[in-house]
Amino acid sequence: MLGRDVELRFPPKRIVSVVPSQTELLHYLGLENEVVGITKFCVHPDNWFRNKTRIGGTKKLNIEKIRELQPDLIIANKEENEREQIEELAKEFPVWISDIQNIPQALQMIQVTGQLTDKEAKANELVDEIVMGFTNLQKATTPKRVAYFIWYNPWMSVGGDTFISNMIHTIGWQNVLQNESRYPEVNLEQLKELNPEMVLLSSEPFPFKEKHMDEIKAILPDAEVKLVDGEMFSWYGSRMKEAVEYMGELLV
């Protein structure tokens, strides 16, 4: 998805995934035996998390451990992984890199992953189900102005060029930081000026709790403040199938 040429032995028999949501996708596609290495943040499915070889975190890969696994395909992501490490690995192994800022790109990633792993039919079936799900989703009747937070101390939100923001827009809401890029820091005084109708506090990467809701309510007493499942908003891949139902319940 970065326009690079990647040559690999097809179909790959030893896959290392260094992105949690794409690891979950590989499981959905039925690549139980082919996936030999995952990160410590690849918590789904649980049996893979407990039994597959862990090769460090998404930002701090254990290059030596990956070398020991001798993968014939590494599946990475432009944002999730560190460029220097991925470039180092690409000198020795086939590395395919996704770049995802919206739902169409996520669907493309699913299709290409299916092509790369000889699971094209299963991947296309998943894409069709996700598209149908979002097409049939009863979107918000009024476009609520929403602020979505992923981090605390400093408070960090999401700009308009992120997958999370695209999910917010897709269900009929408006991101109050639509004109910002990536993950801007926002202090509470700025948030007060933005005056969102709803504030969503994600379960990941920072695990927001009720005490953080109280901080928001103190400055925005009229806003609706919710703790939300961050995986449903940010995990591109097979999780999007479940996200449709989750979003529908959130809109009620």
Classify residue 114: in a domain, yes or no.
no
Q: How many independent structural domains does the chain possess?
A: 2
Tell me, yes or no, whether 95 and 150 share the same domain: no
Which range marks the domain in which residue 94 is found?
15-101
pLDDT tens per residue across span 179-233: 999 999 999 999 999 999 999 999 999 999 999 999 999 999 999 999 999 999 9
Contact 169, 140 (CB under 8 A): no
Tell me, yes or no, whether 187 and 242 share the same domain: yes
The set of residues, in sequence order, having a beta carbon less than 8 Å from that of 18 and lying 6+ positions away, is 38, 39, 55, 58, 61, 74, 75, 76, 77, 80, 81
Tell me, yes or no, whether 179 and 247 share the same domain: yes
pLDDT tens per residue across span 88-138: 999 999 999 999 999 999 999 999 999 999 999 999 999 999 999 999 999
CA distances from 225 to 80, 108, 126, 212 (A): 28, 33, 33, 10
User: Which CATH number is 168's domain given?
Assistant: 3.40.50.1980
pTM as predicted: 0.94
